[in-house]
Amino acid sequence: MTFARVLLTSTLALAQVAPAAAQQRLATNRMTCTDAKALVKQDGDVVLATGPGLSERIVADRGYCELTEIAELRFVPTRDNLQCPVGYRCKAPEFEDWNGN
């Protein structure tokens, strides 16, 4: 096989695997609160399934957000805690976020 053919075959194989990996969501209701927080802290940026058909990007700190975003503490349901403070959600700031209320 030529180098170009090997490269093309490898690229196509990866293209088929990547979407499957990207679609995988870790369900918070199957983790303990401690495990969920440790996962976010270790990976820094994860997508968690927080309910049936619901998923959310959770980050370890503001450094994973865009410059124009703020980090808002997120509570998600886990196996042992219905309101586990697992990490942060990046979001565009609203007026209430700036006026101190």
pLDDT of residue 25: 76
What are the φ/ψ torsions at residue 86 (nearest 5 degrees)?
-75, -30
Q: Provide mean pLDDT across the span 24-30.
A: 86
Residue 2 has pLDDT above 60, yes or no: no
What confidence score (pLDDT) does residue 16 get? 46
Give the H/E segment covering residue 21: helix 3-23
Q: How confident is the model over 43-67, as a mean pLDDT?
A: 94
Q: Do 78 and 32 touch, CB atoms closer than 8 A? A: yes
In this prediction the pTM is 0.69
More confident residue, 22 or 75: 75
